[in-house]
């Protein structure tokens, strides 16, 4: 089935100051976004897609002058797809701290006129929800039919339902967790250390030096990538296969998995901003809606009035099914409406981006029933 | 799960009052839950393990939790449901006793239905030297999911030995209520049980 086709990015400017969770204030900010489909007269068919660590507002379709740059979740958004653009008005947004057009570390700091760099305030999932709500106002969307996201995006879908219950009718929390484990935070910190200790990082002000901490960012991505895949999938895809068929008794690329990871690392470092990467991992680490409720997640979620679909993947060890069950159990404890599916998919944490038939059928069915 | 021909559904529905909370274990495509919600005004969730059934239940607009009953009902709070239902599934479970206790923990009452192995046609099959195959037990011995079959008398003993109170029992055959000789004339038993 054909996708949405040619799309165009838009930008919205907000000049009412935004007070962030850290206490810092952004005097003004921009959000880059894209929309697909048509907002109905009742403004009741809007779905917000929240992105994960490396995503942005380009969710589906491609740009006119860049046909190969397909949106990161194109397989689920489009005419006849589970997020059916013939029925829904789908909105993708680049979060604060991003570098794809939304205000972030590469944007000029109004105080200095130079890029914010490391001085850009640390943002949290709460802050993103607050900023996204401004975008909803801008688009005259009082309440989302659904907010959906995978991984860090799923955390935003959950936070939306908690913070602005009257504005979310359905929350689709996919491959997420209500908080990171110590192991998750540990992975993130190693990634951050790789970036921060890169000599080209310059304390986060590398833009002024005309360099980028490519080595650090590359390592960060290689590490992250390992955690997004499953052991089984890696074994199946790469095994112990050698590029040249024999040991070379050196440190160059020998095993296929090394080649793959280095390629992924290079590709990512070439296009992603290191300061944004740091910010995103920090937002992940801080996310914990139960924090202010003595760890009682049910209490934290109790304001939500949305109905929930929670989805996990059997081979996801970064945010394992048990983490999703914690969210489900909290909702059950509150007698809130929730469906939960544990999808058998071999792609680890990345499964949420895959075109798995059961997974997509489920999202489709849920949205079809939930949103008349 | 086959949702046609489930005479126990109407019995179970008659025990559920409007607004009551129901947890349907092994809910299949959600046919019973849908009936309880639409005809009886109940609220509830289903638990189901099979992908196709989870999808069907979501398609019906039901709350369904994909989970393995054999692992118990952890995550469900004590006494959080009015009824916890296990329709024609008990005989196919490995951890029979454990699931009954879990149902009684999570529910104010448990509703259990199962095929009666003591049904006269089953006894006749055995007398003739064969494993019973009937409307309620439609499987051959080598491909049956049923590993813990019991008679009505066995289930009564099971409850009595565990201080489980039988609040009500309905016994059916070919969709009709059986009023005497339950363990002989009934092919399907439906129980409401509570903690003693």
CA dihedral A190, A288, A318, A157 (to 10 degrees): -120
A371 min Cα distance to partner chain B (Å): 10
Q: Which helix (H) or strand (E) holds B100?
A: helix B96-106
Question: What is the rounded CA–CA span in Å between residue A190 and residue A194?
Answer: 6
**pLDDT 10s digits, A35-79:** 999 999 999 999 999 999 999 999 999 999 999 999 999 999 999
Number of A–B residue contacts, CB under 8 Å: 55
- Per-residue model confidence (pLDDT) at position B3: 46
- Per-residue model confidence (pLDDT) at position A169: 97
Q: Of A325, A333, A366, which is closest to B58 when you measure between CB atoms?
A: A366
What is the mean predicted confidence (pLDDT) over B113-130? 97
- Say whether residue B81 is in contact with chain A using an 8 A CB cutoff: no
What is the mean predicted confidence (pLDDT) over A133-150? 98
**pLDDT 10s digits, B37-72:** 999 999 999 999 999 999 999 999 999 999 999 999
State whether the Cα torsion A26-A32-A34-A39 is positive or negative: positive
**pLDDT 10s digits, B99-110:** 999 999 999 999
B62 min Cα distance to partner chain A (Å): 8
What is the mean predicted confidence (pLDDT) over A302-326? 97
Q: Name residues whose C-beta falls within 8 Å of residue A158's C-beta, 6 or more positions apart in sequence.
A: A171, A173, A176, A178, A289, A301, A327
Q: Of B21, B65, B76, which is closest to A339 when you measure between CB atoms?
A: B65
- Say whether residue B49 is in contact with chain A using an 8 A CB cutoff: no
pLDDT > 70? residue A150: yes
Q: A339, B76: Cβ pair inside 8 Å?
A: no
- Per-residue model confidence (pLDDT) at position A370: 74
For residue B107, give Cα distances in angstroms to A336, B85, B143: 17, 9, 32
CB A169 within 8 A of CB A307: yes
Enumerate the β-bridge partners of residue B110: B84, B193
- Per-residue model confidence (pLDDT) at position B6: 84
Q: Name residues whose C-beta falls within 8 Å of residue B115's C-beta, 6 or more positions apart in sequence.
A: B88, B91, B134, B136, B137, B146, B149, B187, B188, B189
- Per-residue model confidence (pLDDT) at position B2: 44
List all residues of chain B from 27 to 46 with a beta carbon under 8 Å from chain A.
45
Which DSSP state fits B27?
Answer: -
The count of domains in chain B is: 1
Q: Token pair 């740059």 is at which residue?
A: A69
| Confidence band, pLDDT 50/70/90 cuts, at residue A165 | very high
- Per-residue model confidence (pLDDT) at position A369: 83
In this structure, which long-range contacts are made by residues A51-55, counting pairs with CB atoms below 8 Å and at least 24 apart in sequence? A51/A92, A51/A93, A51/A94, A51/A95, A51/A149, A51/A152, A51/A153, A52/A149, A52/A150, A52/A151, A52/A152, A52/A153, A53/A151, A53/A152, A53/A224, A53/A277, A53/A280, A53/A281, A53/A284, A54/A268, A54/A272, A54/A277, A54/A280, A55/A153
What is the mean predicted confidence (pLDDT) over A104-125? 95
Percent of chain B with pLDDT over 70: 97
**pLDDT 10s digits, B141-165:** 999 999 999 999 999 999 999 999 9
Range of the domain at B162: 3-195
pLDDT > 50? residue A254: yes
CB A213 within 8 A of CB A206: yes
pLDDT > 80? residue A130: yes
Q: Which helix (H) or strand (E) holds A264?
A: helix A256-271
What is the mean predicted confidence (pLDDT) over A238-247? 92
| Confidence band, pLDDT 50/70/90 cuts, at residue A1 | low
| Confidence band, pLDDT 50/70/90 cuts, at residue B113 | very high
Q: Which of B36, B27, B108 is nearest to A340 (CA)?
A: B27
| Confidence band, pLDDT 50/70/90 cuts, at residue B196 | confident
CA dihedral A329, A331, A337, A341 (to 10 degrees): -40
Q: DSSP string spanning A51-101?
A: P-TT--S--SSBBTTBTT---TTTTTEETTSSEETTT-EEEEEPPTT-SSS
Q: DSSP string spanning A36-62?
A: ES---TTS--EEEEEP-TT--S--SSB
Lowest pLDDT segment from A199-213, A237-251, A292-306, B173-187: A237-251
Mean pLDDT of chain A: 96
Interaxial angle between packed helices A182-196 and A274-286, expressed in degrees from 0 to 180 and rounded to the nearest 10: 160
**pLDDT 10s digits, A297-310:** 999 999 999 999 99
What's the first-to-final CA gap in chain A, in angstroms? Answer: 23
**pLDDT 10s digits, A170-204:** 999 999 999 999 999 999 999 999 999 999 999 99
Contacts of A329 in chain B (CB under 8 A): 75-76
Q: DSSP string spanning A211-257?
A: ---HHHHHHHHHHHHHHHS-HHHHHHHTTT-BSSSS--SSSS--BHH
- Say whether residue B51 is in contact with chain A using an 8 A CB cutoff: yes
Q: Token pair 């000599």 is at which residue?
A: A199
| Confidence band, pLDDT 50/70/90 cuts, at residue A105 | very high
Q: B76, A332: Cβ pair inside 8 Å?
A: yes
Contacts of B57 in chain A (CB under 8 A): 339
What's the first-to-final CA gap in chain B, in angstroms? Answer: 32
What is the mean predicted confidence (pLDDT) over A238-253? 91
Tokens for A229?
A: 């895949």
Burial (CB count <10 Å: 0-12, 13-18, 19+), residue A84: buried
Mean pLDDT of chain B: 95
- Per-residue model confidence (pLDDT) at position B1: 41
Q: B45, A332: Cβ pair inside 8 Å?
A: yes
**pLDDT 10s digits, A348-366:** 999 999 999 999 999 999 9
Question: What is the rounded CA–CA span in Å between residue A59 and residue A61?
Answer: 7
B42-66 residues labelled b (16+ CB within 10 A) or e (exposed) = bbbbbbbeebebbbbbbbbbbbbbb
CB B30 within 8 A of CB B42: no
| Confidence band, pLDDT 50/70/90 cuts, at residue B4 | very low
What is the mean predicted confidence (pLDDT) over B75-93? 96
Q: B66, A340: Cβ pair inside 8 Å?
A: yes
pLDDT > 70? residue A108: yes
- Per-residue model confidence (pLDDT) at position A2: 82
- Say whether residue B63 is in contact with chain A using an 8 A CB cutoff: yes
Percent of chain A with pLDDT over 70: 99
Selected for mutation to probe chain B from A321, A326, A341 (highest B CB count within 10 Å) is A341
Tokens for B140?
A: 């051959």
Catalytically active residues of A are: 151, 316, 349
Task: Find the CATH number of the domain harbouring B136.
Answer: 3.40.50.150
B184 min Cα distance to partner chain A (Å): 41
Question: What is the rounded CA–CA span in Å between residue B174 and residue A150?
Answer: 49
Question: What is the rounded CA–CA span in Å between residue A155 and residue A284?
Answer: 9
pLDDT > 50? residue A291: yes
List all residues of chain B from 128 to 157 with a beta carbon under 8 Å from chain A.
none
């Amino acid at each position: 089935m054909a996708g949405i086709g040619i799309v165009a990015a838009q930008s919205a400017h907000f000049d009412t100051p935004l007070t962030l969770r850290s206490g810092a204030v952004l005097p003004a900010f921009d959000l880059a976004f894209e929309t697909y489909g048509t907002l109905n007269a009742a403004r009741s068919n809007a779905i917000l897609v929240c992105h994960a660590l490396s995503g942005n507002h380009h969710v589906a379709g491609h740009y006119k002058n860049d046909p190969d740059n397909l949106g990161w979740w194109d397989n689920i958004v489009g005419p006849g797809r589970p997020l059916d653009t013939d029925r829904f008005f789908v909105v993708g947004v680049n979060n604060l701290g991003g570098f794809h057009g939304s205000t972030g570390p590469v944007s000029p700091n109004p105080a200095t006129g130079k890029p914010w760099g490391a001085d850009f305030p640390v943002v949290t999932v709460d802050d993103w929800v607050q900023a996204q709500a401004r975008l909803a106002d801008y688009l005259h969307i009082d309440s989302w039919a659904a907010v959906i996201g995978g991984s860090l995006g799923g955390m935003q879908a959950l936070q939306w339902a908690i913070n602005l219950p009257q504005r979310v009718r359905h929350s689709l929390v996919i491959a997420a967790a209500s908080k990171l484990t110590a192991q998750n935070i540990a992975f993130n910190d190693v990634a951050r250390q790789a970036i921060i200790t890169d000599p080209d990082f310059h304390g986060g002000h590398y833009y002024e030096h005309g360099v980028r901490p490519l080595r650090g960012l590359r390592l960060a991505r290689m590490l992250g990538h390992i955690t997004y895949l499953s052991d089984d999938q890696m074994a199946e895809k790469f095994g112990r296969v050698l590029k040249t068929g024999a040991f070379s008794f050196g440190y160059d690329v020998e095993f296929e998995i090394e080649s793959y990871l280095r390629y992924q690392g290079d590709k990512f470092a070439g296009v992603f901003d290191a300061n944004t990467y740091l910010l995103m991992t920090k937002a992940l680490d801080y996310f914990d809606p139960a924090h202010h409720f003595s760890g009682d997640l049910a209490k934290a979620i109790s304001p939500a009035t949305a109905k929930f679909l929670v989805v996990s993947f059997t081979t996801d060890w970064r945010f394992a099914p048990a983490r999703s069950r914690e969210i489900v159990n909290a909702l059950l404890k509150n007698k809130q409406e929730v469906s939960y599916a544990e999808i058998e998919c071999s792609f680890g944490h990345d499964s949420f981006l895959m075109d798995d038939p059961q997974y997509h059928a489920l999202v489709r069915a849920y949205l079809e029933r939930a949103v008349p | 799960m086959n949702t046609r021909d489930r005479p126990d559904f109407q019995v179970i529905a008659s025990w559920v009052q409007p607004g009551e909370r129901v947890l349907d274990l092994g809910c299949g495509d959600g046919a019973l839950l849908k009936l309880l919600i639409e005809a009886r005004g109940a609220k509830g969730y289903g638990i189901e393990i099979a992908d196709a059934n989870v999808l069907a239940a979501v398609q019906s607009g039901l709350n369904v939790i994909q989970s393995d009953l054999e692992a118990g009902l952890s995550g469900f709070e004590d006494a959080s449901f009015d009824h916890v239902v296990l329709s024609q599934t008990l005989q196919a479970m490995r951890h029979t006793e454990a699931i009954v206790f879990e149902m009684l923990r999570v529910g104010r009452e448990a509703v259990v239905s199962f095929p009666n192995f003591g049904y006269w046609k089953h006894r006749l099959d055995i007398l003739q030297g064969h494993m019973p195959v009937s409307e309620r037990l439609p499987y051959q011995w080598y491909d049956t999911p049923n590993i813990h079959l019991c008679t009505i008398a066995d289930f009564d003993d099971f409850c009595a030995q565990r201080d489980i109170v039988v609040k009500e029992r309905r016994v059916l055959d070919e969709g009709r209520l059986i009023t005497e000789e339950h363990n002989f004339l009934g092919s399907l038993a439906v129980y409401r049980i509570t903690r003693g």
